[in-house]
């Protein structure tokens, strides 16, 4: 099959039919217009199972999300990202897709999705959806056919390999969810690769037919009006075709937020099982497709030994991902020197790339517990939000973050996450950050829905419910912060220059088209001060709900967990 990128340009026709795209994916020239709304816009992530249940089955659904979109619009977000809602046996709760082009009945129907998109657009919200392209469910028709024998048309659509002479797997690659990344299949008398669950076989991206089939599936949702994608495990698509073993690393001595050190997956350098050079070419094909649709975007999830460098590589040049995120801010460290180091490394490699910064998501412990536990007063939680909204890049808020939801302690008998069940008790999995959204404190199940929720509603979340958030609450703080940020061109679009490292204070400047903004944050439990150059003596001071900062002509004095912004004309 000819590579999609090598085919000649044809006449300009938009939108393309599926058959036109398959014949000539580069037909449209020039590119569709793009407002770059995503470049500095705020994305709000929704885990559909846990947002709003409308039919009483205990699982959130698409009509429930539609009913709550006004909450997100009022908050000041620019777009939403929906975690998977596709047909799935739900072994990994939607990240094991059995039909890329349909909605799982537990979430609703395609018509429900179309209604959601229409309502979101009416409210001025863009809609991004997850795409899980590196692997499928073992119940996907492609895999059912592939495993039937070694000669069928899809025999090499997945990563199959012969056993070694002693019957062991072809190499030492490991699954993130525990054990070998290889599962023996008695029908084909071969191993197949799975980076995650045994029921999530990896697709073979060395096969051009696989790439084209996935591009067709991506196009399906673009034609339904989606504005972009979050790409799950975006650096996992391509494996080393020679199946070389990874070199040993040993138990990590420093925290890796992407993988707990108790998981042997972290004991290898992942040189060959992911992040291969050929991955770049498929990202270019994806970008070529999205560039034919107005105002679309992609954000990729990067889990890599050097996530910041991979983020930069995948977002540079304007021909791959629009933005990417890694796990550097999803761990337990948040001191000023640590944060300075993260941003210094990133700024050194990013070039014209664009980051997406998340402090919580559906895969990690909630920020209000992971960082916020250091300050029960809640000031650190507000400071973290202020930092996130001040960075160069696109902030992504995980649902419930605006309420200050903490990590739930889920009893073993209530666990649903297979990752947590396997790794218990050292790692309790991801259920603690996936509990239902509390809307109304005195309603059954905190207003999530009438039926027993798929995960319990933690009692400690009731005082944080949406209807309990007053004028001085965290939700009001997020709302005013997001709306204020929209009017600050330096924060939305500007470059970023770090001030020198400080033991307690993280300070950096943002600048864009007539505005300079100095961002000063005390990430410590002790008072701190920062000397100001004379040029900042006449700056405008912005507190925006943060307290504890005093600004004089030559000094910023900060109480613990305090912050402030100062602005000047550029």
Active site residues: 232, 301
Query: Rounded to the nearest 10 degrees, what angle do helices 336-349 and 307-315 cross at?
Result: 40
Q: Which of 278, 277, 258 is nearest to 268 (CA)?
A: 258
Strand-pair partners of 161: 191
Alpha-carbon span 465 to 442, nearest angstrom: 9
Please give the full DSSP string across 114-158, using - where no structure is assigned.
HHHHHHHHHTT-EEEEEE--SB--TTSHHHHHHTT-SSSTTTTSB
DSSP annotation of 192: E
DSSP annotation of 289: H
DSSP annotation of 461: G
Q: Which of 546, 567, 566 is nearest to 558 (CA)?
A: 546
Q: Enumerate helices (H) and strands (E) in the chain, giving the number of each.
A: 14, 21
Count of residues in the chain:
570
Alpha-carbon span 412 to 480, nearest angstrom: 39
Q: Which of 430, 339, 432, 344 is nearest to 384 (CA)?
A: 339
Please give the full DSSP string across 530-549, using - where no structure is assigned.
EE--GGGTTPEEE-TT---E
Say whether 397 sits in a helix, a strand or coil: strand
- To the nearest 10°, report the CA torsion of 401, 405, 407, 409: -150
Strand-pair partners of 99: 87
Sign of CA dihedral 373, 379, 384, 385: positive
Joined together, the tokens standing for residue 508 give: 């950096």
Query: Between the CA of residue 278 and those of 3, 173, 238, 268, 283, what are the distances in Å?
Result: 13, 19, 7, 21, 9
**H or E segment at 62?**
helix 62-67
The Cα diameter of the chain in Å comes to: 77
Strand-pair partners of 130: 230
Using the structure block, give the residue that is written with the tokens 């649709």. 293
State how far Cα 134 lies from the chain centre.
15
């Amino acid at each position: 099959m000819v590579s999609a990128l090598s085919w000649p340009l044809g006449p300009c026709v938009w939108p393309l039919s599926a058959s036109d795209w398959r014949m000539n994916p580069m037909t449209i020239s020039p590119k569709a217009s793009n407002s770059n709304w995503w470049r500095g816009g705020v994305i709000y992530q929704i885990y559909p199972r846990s947002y709003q249940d409308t039919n009483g089955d205990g699982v959130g659904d698409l009509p429930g999300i539609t009913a709550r979109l006004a909450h997100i619009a009022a908050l000041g977000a620019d777009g939403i990202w929906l975690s998977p809602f596709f047909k799935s046996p739900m072994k990994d709760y939607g990240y094991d897709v059995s039909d890329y082009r349909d909605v799982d009945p537990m979430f609703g129907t395609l018509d429900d999705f179309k209604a959601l998109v229409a309502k979101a657009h009416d409210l001025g919200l863009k809609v991004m959806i997850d795409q899980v392209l590196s692997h499928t469910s073992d119940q996907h028709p492609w895999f059912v056919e592939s495993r039937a024998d070694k000669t069928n048309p899809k025999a090499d659509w997945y990563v199959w390999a012969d056993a070694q002479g002693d019957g062991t797997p072809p190499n030492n690659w490991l699954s993130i969810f525990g054990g070998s990344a290889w599962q023996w299949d008695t029908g084909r008398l071969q191993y197949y690769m799975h980076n995650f669950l045994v029921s999530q076989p990896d697709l073979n991206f060395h096969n051009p037919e696989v790439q084209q089939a996935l591009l067709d599936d991506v196009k399906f949702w673009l034609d339904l009006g989606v504005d972009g994608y979050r790409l799950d495990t975006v650096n996992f698509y391509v494996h080393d075709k020679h199946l070389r073993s990874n070199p040993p690393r040993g138990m990590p001595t420093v925290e890796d937020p992407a993988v707990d050190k108790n998981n042997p997956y972290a004991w290898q350098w992942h040189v060959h099982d992911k992040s291969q050079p050929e991955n770049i070419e498929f990202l270019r094909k994806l970008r070529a497709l999205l560039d034919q649709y107005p105002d679309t975007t992609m954000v990729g999830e990067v889990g890599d030994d050097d996530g910041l460098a991979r983020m930069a590589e995948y977002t540079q040049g304007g021909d791959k991902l629009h933005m990417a995120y890694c796990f550097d801010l999803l761990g337990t460290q948040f001191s000023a020197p640590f944060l300075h180091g993260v941003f210094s490394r990133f700024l050194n490699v990013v070039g014209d790339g664009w980051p997406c910064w998340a402090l919580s998501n559906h895969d990690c412990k909630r920020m209000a517990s992971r960082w916020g536990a250091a300050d029960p007063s809640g000031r650190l939680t507000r400071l973290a939000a202020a930092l996130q909204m001040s960075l160069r890049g696109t902030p992504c808020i995980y649902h419930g973050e605006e309420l200050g939801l903490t990590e739930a302690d889920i009893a073993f008998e209530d666990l649903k996450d297979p990752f947590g069940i396997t790794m218990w008790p050292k790692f309790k999995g991801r259920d603690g950050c996936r509990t239902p959204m509390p809307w109304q404190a005195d309603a059954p199940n905190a207003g999530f829905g009438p039926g027993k929720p798929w995960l319990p509603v933690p009692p400690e979340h009731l005082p944080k419910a949406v209807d309990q958030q007053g004028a001085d609450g965290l939700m009001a703080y997020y709302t005013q912060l997001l709306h204020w940020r929209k009017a600050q061109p330096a924060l939305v679009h500007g470059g970023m220059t770090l001030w020198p490292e400080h033991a307690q204070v993280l300070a950096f400047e943002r600048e864009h088209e007539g505005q300079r903004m100095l961002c000063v944050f005390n990430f410590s439990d002790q008072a701190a001060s920062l000397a100001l150059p004379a040029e900042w003596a006449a700056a405008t001071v912005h507190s925006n709900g943060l307290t504890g900062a005093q600004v004089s002509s030559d000094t910023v004095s900060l109480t613990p967990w305090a912050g402030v912004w100062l602005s000047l004309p550029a």
